[in-house]
Amino acid sequence: MALKDINLNLSRGDFIGLIGHTGSGKSTLVQHLNGLIKPTSGKIIVDGIDITSKDTDLRKIRQKVGLVFQYPEHQLFEETVYKDIAFGPKNLELGEEEIETRVKKAMELVGLDYNSLKDRSPFELSGGQKKKSCYSWSISNETRSFSTR
Ligand SMILES: Nc1ncnc2c1ncn2[C@@H]1O[C@H](COP(=O)(O)OP(=O)(O)OP(=O)(O)O)[C@@H](O)[C@H]1O
Ligand SMILES: [Mg+2]
């Protein structure tokens, strides 16, 4: 068993770093937060909703909780940075104008220059820029992001 006797309360605005040895269960813990994996016992409550209950619509939870992959190459896949960051808002069926506003805002927030980077391939970015693009995903979706690393 990777995790046992975990009690964790996170409040809005908290900025948490989780530190532990490789294989100690950090990624496993984070994957519980949007229902990617389920605990064998116990409960996980997000915004007052018990996500371990059978009746919970996990799509709603996943719009609240964003996960950023350990390796950006596992997450980025579109031809351009713009299309990549627009992927989430597009799935939310927002209008083109709102999508553009969100992509711009998300890129600005993480410190990626919109005009010079939006048409580049995400795979041509530097390691840090790739990682920032992944964070932009969660911001453009307006989720509260969690990183797996
Ligand atoms: N899909 C899986 N199936 C079975 N065991 C797994 C799976 N993923 C991880 N584990 C095991 O669960 C334990 C915790 O792994 P986890 O990936 O959560 O560690 P971590 O703290 O994120 O490590 P790292 O710092 O290397 O990212 C490890 O013993 C690992 O081998
Ligand atoms: Mg990990």
List pLDDT tens digits, range 26-46. 999 999 998 999 999 999 999
Q: Residue 112: inside a domain, yes or no?
A: yes
Residue 56, pLDDT above cutoff 60: yes
User: How far is Cα 126 from Cα 73, in angstroms, rounded to an integer?
Assistant: 12
Q: Residue 43: inside a domain, yes or no?
A: no
- The mean per-residue pLDDT over the stretch 92-117 comes to 95
Residue 145, pLDDT above cutoff 90: no
**Is the pTM for the entire model greater than 0.85?**
no
Assess whether the C-beta atom of 26 lies below 6 angstroms from ligand 1.
yes
Category of 131 on φ-ψ map: left (φ > 0), alpha (ψ -120 to 50) or beta = alpha
Q: Residue 79: inside a domain, yes or no?
A: yes
Token reading at 19: 């530190």
Domain residues for 97?
Answer: 73-144
Q: Residue 130: inside a domain, yes or no?
A: yes
Strands (E), the chain: 45-46, 49-50, 65-68, 144-147
Looking at the structure of the chain, the number of domains it has is 1
Other C-beta atoms closer than 10 Å to the C-beta of 25 total: 15
**What local confidence, expressed as pLDDT, does residue 44 receive?**
94
User: Which residues, by Cβ under 5 Å, contact ligand 2, an ion?
Assistant: 26-27
Q: Residue 29: inside a domain, yes or no?
A: no
Residue 11, pLDDT above cutoff 60: yes
Assess whether the C-beta atom of 19 lies below 6 angstroms from ligand 1.
no
Assess whether the C-beta atom of 126 lies below 6 angstroms from ligand 1.
no
Q: Residue 83: inside a domain, yes or no?
A: yes
Q: Residue 97: inside a domain, yes or no?
A: yes
Token reading at 76: 């980025």
Q: Residue 36: inside a domain, yes or no?
A: no
Q: Indicate the pairing of strand 65-68 with strand 144-147.
A: parallel
